[in-house]
Amino acid sequence: MNSIIRSLVRASSVAIFVLLGLLAAQQLAKRLILKDGSYQMVTKYEIKGDRVRYMSAERGEWEEVPKSLIDWEATDKYEKDRAAGVPSPEAAALDKELEDEKKAEEARNPHVAPGLQLPDEGGIILLDTFESQPQLVELLQTGGEVNANTKNNILRGVINPIASAKQTIELPGTHAKVQSHVATPSIYIADRPDPQSQAKQDAELPLDRFKIVRMQVKGDKRIVGDLKVAIYGKVSQEQKLVASHSEKMTGGWVKVTPEAPLATGEYAIVEMLGKEGMNLNVWDFGVNPAAAANATAWKPDRTATQEPQKPGELKKRN
């Protein structure tokens, strides 16, 4: 049994050495470039009459090809370029492909700070700065509760004319889980078309329908806005909107920025639905420079922000 194991180990070792030899040969290989644009990887070759005999770097065997099929000018140029350190056409093509992929990814998910890129899956993202470090924090959608004890979205459902004349949209708790440490946070919204809706309807939605609302804290709840219901069922809405600027970005992103610094307090991103009113699902956040760190914050990628090291200066001898 032991002899069998030793034989297998020796065979494996031989196979590994052969494989490493082939890999090393391919790295040092030359190219015989054919007139049709293809090429053979060779470790060495010799011309015999009208034939070219070469050692294949890929198969490790001697092979032949008619001399007339070789593009000698291209073969010599490749060797000169390699000796001068010029990248091969394949390397140049690969670099271009990688660069194109990088540009496409940047177009889908722009970098908004050094080492910070918007996520591919979208969402609503707040750009914060904590202890002099830029960070991204995702704002989660919160369903606004209506104090009439109904789970229906009354802005889209049937309005009961006998309902109270005024109802308030409320969020539980006095503080949002996400707190901005800067007074002018930038908020990025993935405003991408819904695959289940009609593209024409999505195109008609205004860019600035996402607004910042200042919430009022009352007791253990935050008030997003008031709904006023007329006797004939028409709904109007009152919110404390904050003046903001909306900017279209690549990849279906919209950047919303307050026009003036926000006072310490509780806020929400709301989606205005034109004549229908406001989407009851909102994205809440607070502004508090003294707040603790956001536990779910995305920090910059060090490899993307790290500057190349400069050679140290020589110290003078005393």
pLDDT tens digits, 105-141 = 666 788 999 999 999 888 899 999 999 999 999 998 8
Asked if pLDDT for residue 161 goes beyond 80, the answer is: no
Higher-scoring residue by pLDDT: 13, 267: 267
Query: What is the distance between the alpha carbons of residues 283 and 137, in angstroms, rounded to a whole number?
Result: 12
* % of the chain at pLDDT higher than 90: 38
Q: What amino acid is encoded at 78 in this protein? A: Y
For residue 313, pLDDT over 60 is answered with no
Q: Residue 308 pLDDT more than 50?
A: no
> Average of pLDDT values for 48-60?
91
C-alpha closest to that of 251 among 111, 100, 97, 116? 111
The confidence band for 23, taking pLDDT boundaries of 50, 70 and 90, is: very low
**pLDDT for residue 309 is more than 60:** no
Q: Percentage of residues in the chain with pLDDT exceeding 70?
A: 61
Please report, for the chain, the start and end positions of each structural domain, with discontinuous segments joined by +: 2-93, 106-299
Average pLDDT over every residue of 268-275: 80
**Distance in angstroms (rounded) separating the CA atoms of residues 32 and 63:** 12
pLDDT classification of 151: cutoffs 50, 70, 90: very low
Whether residue 207 has pLDDT greater than 90: no
Mean pLDDT of 264-292: 86
Task: Tell me: pLDDT of 160 over 70.
Answer: no
Mean pLDDT of the region 172-178:
94
pLDDT surpassing 80 at residue 242: yes
Distance between CA atoms of residues 7 and 207, nearest Å: 72
Q: Is 55 exposed, middle or buried (0-12, 13-18, 19+ CB in 10 A)?
A: middle
Query: Helix count (H) and strand count (E) of the chain?
Result: 5, 22
